[in-house]
């Protein structure tokens, strides 16, 4: 068969997505089927075990590195050639879907199975990677496994990261679930190229009726944890003018960062996703509040501007209310531009396969933004129904999944060179 006409088996890929989605499954009241597979929990281990079994079933050479990244490789005809890598993650947020990350990993297995079935060899090896803790929901920063993989964070520092909720140490959790592997990390050599198929996680493709996004880059991310300390006091006896209330300050920061994003306009976004009151009681002015602020922009200077305004807001509120605010950076990544030739390849391949396509930046963080530091990289996006992600209602229709995986197959084939 002419390799350019090769297509993946859509139902087979969908079946794997369904099977993996059962591990850590959460069900909503309206038939939603999501996933809670936080990084390095038992559910993550179960998901990894299943994917690794599929990797072995396909006859791939599987390595697990010191930060728990799993890489499965199909050999090429040139033993000296670097692999074309595809991949993503299988950890989810606590209220996640069955597609975010999982799709990129399972589409990689599917394309390898398709090549094997049709007896097509490639000059370059093809690797499928499953990176540790992409979400950053349990351990920060996000994209931690791929960051260490490319040498952007010291392995020892990554292993010492503590979970936001229960304080567990990442390295201990990795060992506990059996994924502290023997392969050194960072990787000894860079891939030849990296491609990641992912759901868009936003509303643009669906809104415009477009099937494939050729991703041009990823916006910058700035995550800060604030600890606001004031004076815990009786809610009935303490006059408003004499309060030092961290709860009030937290609320003002939440409305303040929303206002700053709206004032800046363009692509600036701002989110308070976590906010914990202590002691969290109806009749007690809180003693402390810990909260997170997520700022993102496609433009580094504008992102810095938003950080400056946010810091000034914190200082002003602290002085006005008589509280202290400690700021801790949880993650900070500059915007990333993908490789021009790889973006072109995704776009022209989508058009050749008959799909409507547009170029677009990614609003979400991805392992691809780390791999882009060491090799030519781009991503393929498929639509998200109602623009929803990080939500158990996350959904992408089977024909869209198949379209994206076919584009992935063809860009990988073009780069790995069939022979």
CB closer to ligand GLV out of 104 and 125 = 104
Q: Which residue is nearest to Mn ion (CB)?
A: 101
Using CB under 6 A as the binding rule, whether residue 245 contacts ligand GLV is answered as no
CB closer to ligand GLV out of 108 and 365 = 365
CB closer to ligand GLV out of 342 and 364 = 364
CB closer to Mn ion out of 100 and 110 = 100
Nearest approach, Cβ of residue 239 and Mn ion (Å): 45
Residue span 108-147 as binding mask against ligand GLV, x where in contact by CB under 6 A, dash where not: ---------------------------x------x-----
Single out the residue of 91, 100, 294, 400 in contact with Mn ion (rule: CB under 5 A). 100
Nearest approach, Cβ of residue 114 and ligand GLV (Å): 28
CB closer to Mn ion out of 94 and 124 = 94
Nearest approach, Cβ of residue 40 and ligand GLV (Å): 16
Nearest approach, Cβ of residue 142 and ligand GLV (Å): 5
Single out the residue of 85, 257, 364, 371 in contact with ligand GLV (rule: CB under 6 A). 364
CB closer to ligand GLV out of 138 and 244 = 138
Q: Which does 142 bind (CB under 5 to 8 A by kind): Mn ion, ligand GLV, none?
A: ligand GLV
Which residue from 125, 122, 128, 109 is spatially nearest to 8, judged by alpha carbons?
A: 109
What SS3 string covers the chain? CCHHHCCCCHHHHHHHHHHHHCCCEEECCCCCEEECCCCCCHHHHHHHHHHHHHHHHCCCEEEEECCCCEEEEECCCCCCCCCEEEEECCCCCCCECCCCCHHHHHHHHHHHHHHHHCCCCECCCEEEEECCCCCCCCCCCCCHHHHHHCCCCCHHHHHCCECCCCCCEHHHHHHHCCCCCCECCCCCCCCCEEEEEEECCCCHHHHHCCCEEEEEEECEEEEEEEEEECCCEECCCCCHHHCCCHHHHHHHHHHHHHHHHHHHCCCCEEECCCEEEECCCCCEECCEEEEEEEEEECCHHHHHHHHHHHHHHHHHHHHHHCCEEEEEEEEEECCEECCHHHHHHHHHHHHHCCCCEEEEEECCCCHHHHHCCCCCEEEEEECCHHHCCCCCCCCCCHHHHHHHHHHHHHHHHHHHCEC
Using CB under 6 A as the binding rule, whether residue 84 contacts ligand GLV is answered as no
Nearest approach, Cβ of residue 355 and ligand GLV (Å): 25
Single out the residue of 101, 136, 171, 186 in contact with Mn ion (rule: CB under 5 A). 101
CB closer to Mn ion out of 114 and 132 = 132
Nearest approach, Cβ of residue 321 and Mn ion (Å): 34
Stretch that binds Mn ion, among 77-85, 92-100, 169-177, 227-235 (CB under 5 A): 92-100
For ligand GLV, the binding residues (CB under 6 A) are: 135, 142, 364-365
């Amino acid at each position: 068969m002419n390799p350019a006409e090769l297509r993946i088996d859509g139902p087979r890929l969908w079946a794997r997505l369904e099977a993996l989605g059962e591990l850590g499954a959460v069900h909503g009241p309206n038939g939603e089927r999501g996933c809670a597979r936080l990084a390095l929990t038992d559910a993550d281990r179960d998901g990894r075990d299943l994917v690794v079994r599929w990797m072995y079933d396909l006859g791939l050479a599987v390595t697990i590195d010191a930060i728990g990244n799993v890489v499965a490789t199909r050999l090429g005809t040139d033993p000296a050639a670097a692999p074309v890598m595809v991949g993503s993650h299988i950890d989810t947020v606590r209220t996640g879907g069955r597609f975010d990350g999982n799709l990129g990993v399972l589409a990689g297995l599917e394309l390898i199975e398709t090549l094997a079935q049709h007896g097509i060899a490639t000059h370059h090896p093809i690797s499928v990677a499953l990176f540790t803790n992409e979400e950053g929901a349990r351990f920060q920063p996000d994209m931690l496994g791929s960051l260490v993989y490319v040498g952007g964070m010291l392995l020892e520092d990554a292993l010492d990261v503590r979970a936001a909720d229960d304080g567990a140490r990442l390295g201990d959790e990795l060992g506990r679930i059996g994924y502290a592997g023997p392969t050194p990390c960072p990787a000894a050599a860079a891939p030849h190229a990296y491609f990641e198929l992912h759901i868009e996680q936003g509303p643009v493709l669906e809104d415009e009726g477009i099937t494939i996004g050729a991703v041009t880059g990823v916006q910058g991310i700035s995550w800060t944890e604030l600890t606001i300390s004031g004076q815990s006091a009786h809610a009935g006896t303490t006059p408003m003018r004499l309060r030092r209330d961290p709860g009030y300050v937290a609320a003002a920061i939440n409305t303040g960062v929303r206002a700053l994003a709206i004032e800046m306009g363009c692509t600036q976004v701002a989110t308070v996703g976590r906010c914990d009151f202590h002691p969290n009681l109806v009749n007690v002015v809180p003693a402390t509040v810990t909260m997170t602020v997520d700022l993102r922009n496609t433009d580094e200077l504008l992102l810095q501007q938003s950080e400056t305004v946010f810091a000034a807001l914190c200082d002003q509120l602290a002085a006005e209310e008589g509280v202290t605010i400690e700021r801790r950076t949880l993650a900070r990544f500059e915007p990333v531009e993908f490789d021009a030739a790889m973006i072109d390849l995704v776009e022209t391949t989508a058009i050749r396969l008959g799909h409507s396509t547009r170029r677009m930046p990614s609003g979400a963080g991805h392992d691809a933004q780390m791999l882009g530091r060491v090799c030519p990289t781009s991503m393929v996006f498929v639509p998200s129904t109602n623009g929803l992600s990080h939500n158990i209602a996350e959904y992408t229709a089977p024909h869209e999944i198949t379209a994206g995986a076919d584009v992935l197959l063809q860009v990988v084939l073009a780069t790995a060179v069939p022979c």
